[in-house]
Amino acid sequence: MDNQQKIKTIEQAKSLHWLNTVRHFFVYLFLSVGAFVSLVPFAWMIATSLKSLAETMTSQFLPKQLMWENYVIAWERALFSKYLLNSFSITLITLAGSLTFSILAAYAFARIKFPGRDLIFGLLLSTMMIPAMVNIIPNFLTVTWLGRIGPIPWINNWPALTVPFMGSVFNIFLLRQFFAQVPDELYDATLIDGGGHFRFLLQVVLPLSKAPLMVITVLTFMGSWNALAWPILVTNTPDWRPISVGLMNFVSEAGQEFQLTMAGAFITIIPVLIIYFFTQKQFTESIARSGLKG
Amino acid sequence: MGISEGIKSVFTPRRLRNLRESLTGYLFIAPAVLLIFLFGIFPVGFALYVSLHRWRIKRTDYIGLANYTRAVGNLTYVLLFFIALGALVAVYFLFRKIIKKARENGEKPWLLILPGVVHASVFGALLRYLWFQLPTFLAIGDKIIGQEKTRELFNQLLSEAFQEVKPQFNLFFWLLLASVVLGTAFIYLVRTPRNSFYQSQFMLVWLSLAAGIGLAYYTYSQVLAAYAAAMETNTDPGIWPQVITISAGLFLLGIAWVLWEGASKESSNLHFWGRILGAMFLLVGGWLLIGEIPQIVALGDEDIWLGLKVTVFFSLGTVPFQLSISMFLSILLFQKLKGSEFFRMVFFLPYVTPFIASAAVFRQLFSNRETGPINMVLQRLGLEPQAWLFESKGVFEIMAAGQGWDWPAWAAGPSLALVVIIIHSIWTYVGYDTVIYLAGLGNISTELYEAAEIDGANAWDSFRYITFPLLSPTTYFLSLIAIIGTFKAFATIWIFRESLALGTVDTFSVAIFTEFFEKLRYGYASAMAFVLFAIILFLTYINNRTQGSKVFYG
């Protein structure tokens, strides 16, 4: 009796083990299908970017001979060096301004008491509801106006592309959540050492908030690489035109030369991918956390 | 001696410290708040100003609601009356809140109505001042062209512009002063610890009262103007009957909803069915009356309705697929098998890829050539190659034609070009949604699953009764983001637009942008943008309401 039961449980365990293997097989199968679908466009892009023009007309997937010169041609024809440099400059200027202003504001909203604090913060949060299309026309008028009266032009120049994005409600919101979690005891310690808010912010709070700062950096990068409507409006010469508009123009101009547009697309993607791979783990986790709190 | 004592008593060390703390706070937030105000809040008012004018690059005439009626027809008046009504309803609720608070604490804050009125009028005066100041400031930009930009010239133009609106500014300034003085004085006059609460609440009451009455009056005068204009051409705009029927329809729907909600609380069967039946009748009646809306809006701009239709197709095509695929993938990933980190990274890759680049790739995957990759796959499967982004025919229409069926035009579905955009959108966002779902799954306690297993639940049961309901807050969040995202979608569609399928892929935002950027109708585009804003607010409101009753928060 006892033995029989043992055998039964062992059999059960065996069948469970067998079931598990089947289950794992299916899990991996579906995951692989998902991964395949995610990756196919990338594979196709890279493969096509190395084909010759004649090969892009055929249905073969892989190039017979790797045409690395496609990248050189695309690079030269579309001023990619200029556009990439522009996008990097735009991102860095935006980041410098937005990080400085957002850190200060987020710190004040999280740790300094002043009348009207919650009211102002609520007002700022409610602006996140406003669709960009409402603001785009007046902001275009404002920016044109500022360029006319100010010492430097704003259109076709860095101010129009960066200054409007330096005050970011989302960044303030994200940072505030992290800043509020820093224990009060640390602030008391700073006070005893004779420091104030500024020193506490620089020496204690910021070193503890590397994760959100990184997220903001990556998101700002992605934002500049994705921006289209606003740059189309405020740039009509290549001087400050970002890579997004550059690539769009190149795609419509090189239209049927698939190998060149794909090379251009890959050139555009590389910087963002590099940044993503370096920050991948913390980035996805912070997205998950900030997303859930919505 | 006496004075210094007095000063000392006002500026105690604690108060000084608090003052310094507050000043630091304001200083810290000043740059960000200033920028957000200039490029985030002020533009809303500015856009409203633009939308009330005929404005093509330059501002010309003030034309009232004409841009709005051109966009959505007479629905404009109906909606504005409802917004005005909403403001008046808000007055009632605000007032009730104040009375409740006052009763609870046995206070009599009614004297504070006076400073409340003054505070509220400050806002009115500010708006009035800005209404006059804005064009004079804008004119500076035009006056300065062709002249040498110097500080003196600018200062001179600025002071000229300011002089023009001196009376309006003075009114605002004196009212502001009065509001500060009265506000402070009444803190000492009416002694309650909730003084500032009452003052701000009374201010809100007066603000929404003024807004409601003002808006209703403005809309009324605009309707009269429309009638007067119609008299000249001997036509009947028929606005009043429309306003009345639609209001009656909405009213019936409201009562139907109340009856329906109350039905479940009825204990007797008769009452229950009576309520349900009544609700049904009212529902049908309400819908019949609301059925007027399509006729009204038929007079509006066709592009807007096309844009709305495309956007709805876009939402229906992306959101359900995106959410179900990502929920499925996240449950698979959550098993924490070997390599799940790798898969998560791969799924997330499309989201971080710049849209413009991935859209360029999809344009060629779905190339209209016969040797295009997707067309190759179709041919392998024995199907016809398609023109994809160049195809303006509906997807169901094409499928039916493939079978040799006749297909009604109204059921044609999204154009094949839009289907490509939908697929690209799903491909992009599945990874993002999966990551958020994974976080949601992490918040579900494993004890629930263990308990369910002991009770004999199989895998499907635990999904149906634990995972799915407990993920509902995440699902609601993601669906809201995704639906609003389709209304805001611009960049990808702009790249996918091809001349042949044009119009069948233009979502609302794209329609606004073309109106602004290509046709240079700033005023009209602003009016359209406000229609978009209204839709987004409405969706968010509906989502919040349903979320309250349907979502299960563990």
For residue B542, the Cα-to-chain-centroid distance in whole angstroms is 11
**Same domain, yes or no, for A8 and A152?**
no
Name residue, tokens 């999809």: B362
**Same domain, yes or no, for A21 and A141?**
no
Q: How far does the CA of residue A41 sit from the closest CA of chain B (Å)?
A: 7
* Average pLDDT score over residue span B59-82: 86
For chain A, the distance separating the N- and C-terminal CA atoms, rounded to the nearest angstrom, is 59
Percent of chain A that is helix, strand, coil (3-state, to 5): 80, 0, 20
Measured over the CA atoms of residue B145, residue B150, residue B153 and residue B157, the dihedral's sign is positive
Which has the minimum average pLDDT: B17-21, B116-120, B223-227, B411-415?
B411-415
**A38 domain residue, yes or no:** yes
Size of interface A-B (CB pairs under 8 A): 293
CB < 8 Å to B23, chain A? 114
**A64 domain residue, yes or no:** no
**Same domain, yes or no, for A138 and A272?**
yes
Of A33, A49, A65, the last residue of a domain is A49
**Same domain, yes or no, for A41 and A106?**
no
B56: pLDDT strictly greater than 70? yes
The whole-chain average pLDDT of chain B stands at: 84
Contact B354 A225 (CB under 8 A): yes
The whole-chain average pLDDT of chain A stands at: 86
User: Best mutation site among B334, B349, B362 for testing chain A: the one with the most A CBs within 10 Å?
Assistant: B349
Distance, CA of B109 to CA of B103 (rounded, Å): 10
Distance, CA of B120 to CA of B214 (rounded, Å): 13
**Same domain, yes or no, for A119 and A191?**
yes
Segment 32-51 of chain A within 8 Å of chain B by CB: 34-35, 37-39, 41-42, 44-45, 48
User: Best mutation site among A134, A276, A283 for testing chain B: the one with the most B CBs within 10 Å?
Assistant: A134
Contact B171, B128 (CB under 8 A): yes
Which has the minimum average pLDDT: A244-258, B119-133, B168-182?
A244-258
A225: pLDDT strictly greater than 80? yes
**Same domain, yes or no, for A288 and A190?**
yes
Segment (H or E) for B547: helix B522-550
**Same domain, yes or no, for A186 and A273?**
yes
Q: What is the pLDDT of residues B249-299, one digit of tens each?
A: 888 888 887 777 776 666 677 777 777 787 777 777 777 776 666 666 666
**Same domain, yes or no, for A170 and A267?**
yes
Phi, psi of B478 (to 5 degrees): -65, -40
| Residue B415 β-bridge partners | B394
- What pLDDT sits at residue B93? 93
Q: How far is CA B84 from CA B90, B308, B376, in A?
A: 10, 25, 58
* Average pLDDT score over residue span B375-399: 81
Q: What is the pLDDT of residues A73-115, one digit of tens each?
A: 888 888 888 999 999 999 999 999 999 999 999 999 999 988 8
Q: How confident is the model at residue A292 (pLDDT cuts 50, 70, 90)?
A: very low
Non-local CB neighbours of A247 within 8 Å, separated by 6+ positions: A78, A83, A264, A265, A268, B354, B356, B357, B360
**Same domain, yes or no, for A236 and A95?**
yes
Measured over the CA atoms of residue B191, residue B194, residue B198 and residue B200, the dihedral's sign is positive
Q: How far does the CA of residue B513 sit from the closest CA of chain A (Å)?
A: 7
Q: What is the pLDDT of residues A183-202, one digit of tens each?
A: 888 888 888 888 888 889 99
A294: pLDDT strictly greater than 50? no
Contact B44 A134 (CB under 8 A): yes
- What pLDDT sits at residue A86? 93
- Indicate the number of domains in chain A: 2
Q: What is the pLDDT of residues A260-275, one digit of tens each?
A: 889 999 999 999 889 8
Q: What is the pLDDT of residues B186-228, one digit of tens each?
A: 888 877 778 888 888 889 999 999 999 999 999 999 988 888 8
Q: How confident is the model at residue A141 (pLDDT cuts 50, 70, 90)?
A: very high
Q: What is the pLDDT of residues B87-119, one digit of tens each?
A: 999 999 998 998 998 888 888 888 888 888 999
- What pLDDT sits at residue A195? 83
Check CB contact of A194 with chain B, cutoff 8 Å. Answer: no
Structural domain of A21: 2-49
Closest Cβ opposite residue A102 in set B32, B438, B490: B32
**A65 domain residue, yes or no:** no
**Same domain, yes or no, for A85 and A222?**
yes
B519: pLDDT strictly greater than 50? yes
**A109 domain residue, yes or no:** yes
B550: pLDDT strictly greater than 60? no
Query: Above pLDDT 70, what percent of chain B?
Result: 93
CATH of residue A277: 1.10.3720.10
Of A49, A69, A87, the last residue of a domain is A49
- What pLDDT sits at residue A11? 66
Distance, CA of B285 to CA of B250 (rounded, Å): 10
**A199 domain residue, yes or no:** yes
- What pLDDT sits at residue B84? 93
**Same domain, yes or no, for A41 and A107?**
no
What tokens were used for B20?
């310094």
- What pLDDT sits at residue B329? 93
B553: pLDDT strictly greater than 60? no
**A24 domain residue, yes or no:** yes
Closest Cβ opposite residue B354 in set A108, A136, A269: A269
Q: How far does the CA of residue B308 sit from the closest CA of chain A (Å)?
A: 15
In 3D, which of B137, B128, B231 has the Cα closest to residue B176? B128
- What pLDDT sits at residue B37? 93
**Same domain, yes or no, for A143 and A284?**
yes
What tokens were used for B451?
């308990």
**A268 domain residue, yes or no:** yes
**A131 domain residue, yes or no:** yes
Check CB contact of A212 with chain B, cutoff 8 Å. Answer: no
